[in-house]
Structure 1
Amino acid sequence: MSVPFVSQPARPLPHLTRCSLWLGFGLLLAQLLWPAEPLAADKLRLQLRWLHQFQFAGYYMALEKGFYRQAGLEVEILPGGPQAAKPIAALLDGEVDFAIANSGLVIARMQGKPVVALAAIMQSSPVVWIVRADSGIYAPQDLAGKRVMLLDPPESAELRLTLLREGLDLDRLQVSPPSFDPLDLVDGHTDAYNGYTSNEPFWLQQQQIPYRLINPREYGVNFYNDVLATREAVLRDRPQQVEAFTQASLRGWQYALDNIEESVQLIHRRYAPEKSLEHLRFEAQELKKLIMPELVQLGHMNPGRWQTIANSYVELGMARGSGDLDGFLYLGPAQTDHRLLYQVLGGAALALLLLGSVALRFAHLTKRLRLEIGARRQAEQELRDSNLQLEKLASTDRLTGLWTRLRLEEVAHQEIKRATRYDLPLCLIFFDIDRFKTVNDQHGHETGDRVLSAVAQRIKAQLRESDCLCRWGGEEFIILMPHADLEHAAVMAEKLRILVAATPVTEQIGVTASFGVAQWRPGQSLRELMQCADQVLYLAKQRGRNRIECYAPPAPQASS
């Protein structure tokens, strides 16, 4: 809001005050006309993570389309590769001004090294395991005892964390360094190849070799990748250069993603002639899925997500400490160019004294606004906490602590979609406690509740982390087993049946349980799968209880 100027009778100012005002305005004008730090004419050096390919298209396009030059910068792009310097080491040694790193950049920061993350280009990592379609490997647990290629940490951190979260120790794998040759997978020299979604799958498709991906994202592990970084000294001494380079690079990335074919042609012609145009196009489309420009602002970084990534490296033993990331994320020119701010404020200090009353008024309003914002954030947090609590109550059975029917149905529909997409096995076990009404009638409902809870916890302790156990109602329970075929599920059901029957719940009470096992068939709905399991559970009851029955689909009728 502008303040109207009201004419007042002229009154002579003291000589010293007039001089001070002119001096203050003069300094302010000088600061605005002559910036404190002109952009340096020296050539800036950017170190890539790997050899030239579409993975670095944004930087090529920023250079070739003149975006760096328009920002007053001269830039040299250095390729990476086995013989090139490691990007973070080259950055810290002062050999380059900027570097492309993976999320392992945060490890250097936690070690006290002065690295700064400027922008995260890929919102998700392309790192995966690639297995042959005929290998019988569908999930991380299937890698036990297998020959597995694994990059050194932190390049393979996502894969290592997936193993850790899935309860699979590295000692149970036959680990070898990567050969960077997918022929080793095709020829059977390894069972799982550590690769990129944007690279090796193209070659396998060209060779018409069926394959399958084990992607950490499907197991809740999702790291940033290709992070543009600098060191604190560059940011401190040349903040305008850092901002100009970052914005020109992001502009280059936007151009590359908006003009993929033009970018592919240029990269093939000037940077990577050894890569075919088809391979570069494939890489471009796959990387665009990881950059997600339609959903996320280019270069976006979430402090909370970085903190989660830092904690994951601590969990893996790759880093130590509390994971304090203060100063790690670049906050933009307004937060970093403090020297220019101080110079402008110092030169204009005397002039601002004339507006002191207005400034105090604004300070008061700002304080009130901050209090209101704080109260609103607290209310929003309370609402989020309340919603989480309501969601927990809706999805958790209060007696046993197991999932409710609603929660199981949500997860089961997702698992059916995954099984459909990747041709994975999926089984469902329906079981209930035999003659449970007798327990309630003879010992009371309170004792019956203790029996239900004890049986539930006993069953839960035997299941895999990926299995889902739900109390369906009364004494009925359901187990959903992803990545398990009928034979595997039947073995598990028999193990659980023996466990329930062999161990009394109390000194006076022992129970048994009957189990129905069914395997999902392509095109089958969750309701149909449950009906199959329920049908054979009823058959187990008819045949004497304390047994398992497996659903066998009816044989197709011969045409007459």
Structure 2
Amino acid sequence: MATLTEEDGKWLLTCHIVASDYNWPFCEISINFFNEQEQPTGQGIDLSSFTSVYVKARYINQEHNSLRFQLRNFNPLYGQFDDQGTWKYVGIEFWPQRSPQANEIPLKSLQVASWWIAEQKLPIKYAVPEFTNVMMLELSTGNNIQPGQYVIELEHIKFTGKYFTNNQVLLFLISLWACSAVGFLFFNLSWSRKQLIETKSKAEELRQLNQLLNVKTKELKDQAERDPLTGALNRAGIKTIFTKELEVLSVMFIDIDYFKSVNDRYGHTVGDEVLKAFAKLISNNCRFTDFLARWGGEEFLLVCPNTSLKDAYDLAQALRNIISHHQWIQDIQLTASFGVAQQGDESPTAFIERADKALYDAKVRGRNQVVISEY
């Protein structure tokens, strides 16, 4: 859990880190430099003219813990605006000083996260820090943080460089303090205020910037709950279903038969459209109490609360028939294999593995069929 409050001109981020299966728990303040409410343009801000950033932040209830300062840069040559996972992670971990001075971080000391480079499989020429189109700024707890209660005090974040423009300074500061009164901004940026009120166009510019920028504090989860392609839940999103007390719970693993041949023959764009249509077809033909998750690739998991094994089997057979007779894009012929299981006195992991084994058996038996796993 995380909350953000303002006190005496300073921001207090209160975090409760709990032990979990996720190896890198954290909480953060995230500042967006793009408007999520309007049509996305992929346009952030250019910080390439700055040389250093001064971060005046510290833990006020813990010592010897690190903070992580991070910028997220979007480059359309290799990234996708609607997939934040493709925005480049450029950051550094530091231990805040206990002094009246802010922590100076030279921008040249920021590094691209090696795990992100490996995940995106980028060419070497793109594996360097970029600051020309920064979409997001993040200040978070550092690595290896232990479970407990943490309070981070943030007084300010200031960028410095040889060349300053009124637009650049306002763009950063307004995004940081958008949730405060405009008068509070004027008080802290008096020199900017004097320039803004000189002309009517400058006042209009401030109004537009104030509309376009927002500061958002969020309670972070280990992963996003929705698959960005199909809109179905992902593994993190479906996890909570297995923590509920249900007398009867059945699941079915669903795998599109020979899906690789679709990508090979028609291309990945058509393959993505098939996946989206497949998820929609399943959702439209199961009960509103059922939960669909994309498990990975062309494999889906349908969780059916309060459903017996027989009812789950009947539903799987009905879905199998609907899939095989559906009119797919470009007249592609599709079938699917199903593995069905009902939860017994076992862990959720063992339960899902049984359904997965039944799916494997369905493939071995020739695909386009339903196999039940008996407990």
User: Where is the helix percentage greater, Structure 1 or Structure 2?
Assistant: 1
TM-score of the aligned structures, taking structure 2 as reference length? 0.42
TM-score of the aligned structures, taking structure 1 as reference length? 0.29
Give the structure, 1 or 2, with the largest relative contact order (CA under 8 Å, sep 6 or more).
2
User: Where is the strand percentage greater, Structure 1 or Structure 2?
Assistant: 2
